[in-house]
Structure 1
Amino acid sequence: MESIIGYILKSSLWLSCFASIYFLFLRNERYFFLNRLYLISGILAAFIFPFINFSYKVLLTSLPVPNSLPPINSESSQITEAVIIDQAFHFNWTAYLAIIFTTGFAIFLFRILKQSYSLYKIIKRSEVVVKQEIKIVESEEFKTHFSFFTYVFVNPLVSGTSTTEILKHEKEHIRQMHWIDLILSELIILFQWFNPTAWIYGRFIRQNHEYLADTKAIQHSENPALYKATLINYLFGGEVIRLANSFNYSLNKKRFAMMTNKKTSTLRKSKILLIVPVVMFVFYAFAQPEHVFADSESIVVNENTDQSTNTISGIVYREDGTPLHGASVIIRGTSNGTVSNKDGVFNLSDVPTESQIVFSFVGLKSVITRPEFTETMKVVLININEPLENIVVVGYGHKSELDTAIKTTVHHKNDNEPLYILDGQVISKSEFNKLNHDNIEHISVYKIDEAIKIYGEKGQYGVIEITTKKTVTTDLENEDNSKEIFIVVEQMPEFLGGKDALMRFIATSIRYPISAQEKNMQGQVLVQFIVQKTGQITNATILKGVDPSLDSEALRVVQSMPEWNPGKQRNIPVDVAYTLSIDFILQ
């Protein structure tokens, strides 16, 4: 909508420029046909010129650096974006302008259509007489005479002598096709009904039409004095319709003066060219600047300076103020980057001015900020230890005797055996009997109904889940120390299907250990694992434990997770450490 408003305003300015030149320099001149061409050109320019746009180049020697944009800092394990929040309420002025403009357009269009339709009905019910190659419609409904396209409306009460002079005048309107100018004039008024210049411009066109018709009518009149006398008799007539040329339009002293036959010099006709510099000035005023950045080779630089305008430098610190060695410093969205040295110092060249710089290090929160070209950058990375998600496992009651529960579940019909699950793998009864009880952490027993809900038809005779003891470590010491492990990267790893899929997987996989239920053990278990650059889950460890049985169950579920979408740093897959919180709650 704003583009339409801009077009209408530009169109109004163009029309005003042509109208001003005509009013100041051309309206009193007697080259009426040239003036007609000028006035038509003004309307066409008002419609066409707003679509024509020019531009000019502005050479810049360096890229502009925004002064008011604050640095963007990360406040979580994910990189924070700057967000512009719109006001809750603002005045929609374009909508109101559109309503006002449309209303005015509809009113004036309705008026023209109503007037034209009334004349059409008169033509249909009246007798049309062809005389002197024009169509004459006699009607007593109009006191004055006028032409409407190829029709001339006359009052039958007028004397024959006056009618003859009037027909000569109206015939010139039809022969010169003045109705084309009137249609263009009404179109510009429809689109610029709010612009007083549009209405004045229409009056200029009608007035010039009368000058043209008077000049030709007098040339063909046998008695010019009679023609002028006929004009005086219609001195007090008024306008009938907007699309008609009335015989008595603009009947004043000036119109009689314009009937005198005076030659116009070529020099005076050249005044019409005054519009040319006005057109050039308006085009230049509406021209858009096109900023062009000069090549580095074309910029004169002092030989004594070695500082580049697209190079940044600075120091990266830990939260305690000590320099951080090995911090990653890259231009966001590119592979152009560097690392800080043992003193935390970094230097990075070829940095676009409007880019963003990402600072990251294993176990520390990443920070995004704008580059500073004129001073040394100082960046602080703080520690993080936030879980990826929080999972809640609810256990209902406990069994007083494991042996009794197992015996109850193992009871079966037709000698069918229950399903044995060892650390997530199906085993036979013989393999179960060979297990060393000292290596068993806990056993979960599911009766037939509950087993079928979990394992389907495989659990139709009950299920026994066995979890063996595992060595629990508190760090990632088994990981190759030479391999860099990230905590936060530009593109974080993701479980296939997203967070909802991760929740469903854990909810259907995890079991509340019976031994923990018997001991009323509950609490939060923090499990850390590595999502390798291949997407595999490795090195699952317990950061915070509650009970060996709960810890082992949490580890078992994490180790059984399928491959993830790996995390990426500088668009390259990397190993990323994650922390998962699992809450075991008894009810």
Structure 2
Amino acid sequence: HELIHVNQKHTLDILFIEILKVIFWFNPIFIFYKKAIQLNHEFLADEKVVKSHNNVPFYQNLLLSKANVNPTYYLASNLNYSVTKKRLIMMTKNTSTTRALLKKGILIPLLTALVFSLCTKVVAQETPQKEGKNVYVNGEAYYKKTTFEIKDEKGKVVAKKKYSDLTAKQKQLAPPLVIRSNNDKPLSEKEIIEKIEKEEPKTFIIDEFDPKNSKTKQQDPNTIYNTAGLTEKPEFSGGMDAFYKFVGDNFVTPKTPDGNTLRGKVYLTFIVEKDGNLSNFKIIRDNFGYGAGEEAIRVLKTSPKWTPGEINGEAVRTLYSLPIAIQSKS
């Protein structure tokens, strides 16, 4: 019996489960796994002995004699089945092949269902909107069946794009999203989805050079825009390096009472007008002091014209802010 344990390398199984118990010390289930594995080892060894000698009663009596060498006395009745009793029952137990195959067949779908349940990814779902409520429609979803043909200056189609591939300016020229019916009643989410699904693939032409697309409709021509909302940002001729060189060449550093070296920054805002001139100068913060902010405004008033900011090719008034670093030398 013990030789069979050695030949079947049952020691490796015990070492493996002991390693798992060390790693997963907080999980008590591995204690029961170890007991089950040890019991199964005894069953395997008993099976080999019975098949080799074909004398079950003799082997059972031998096990009983070994078990009674050092009897254990309990203070109370032992109601649990001992390992020896389980081994004796297993020796005389017959399991039909059909029943064994049936158990294995039931185990396969159970394991498959367990694997799928553990591998299922839960995705947050959007809460359905109530009927009649106006909803936001993503442009990419709305135009998923639409192809946009892009024209060049000569009116020739040079590219075909999906909505997601369009530039910010090209997206502004795309037809507006229809989220209302003909009677101006807001469409529900369901109606919008049905509208998108039923529509046949379409093709829209985007011509940035068409005169009617080169102007931006403004309610007030004096509207002031932030740089974030522009298609073209305002720029000093030659770039910002040239601008700071212009400031350095013309800025007169204020004198300090004690003549010490001072460093600081002046933060200003101004408006780049449609013709490129600068106006509406404001000092946001003057870390330097001694009139440095006023001197910075004086220099900006002498600045050459800038290239104005644009929206779809139309010049607009743009609010611009920048810091000017100042250093005085003793």
Give the TM-score band, short-chain normalised: 0.3 to 0.5
User: Normalized per residue, which structure has more strand?
Assistant: 1
Structure exhibiting the larger radius of gyration computed from Cα positions: 1
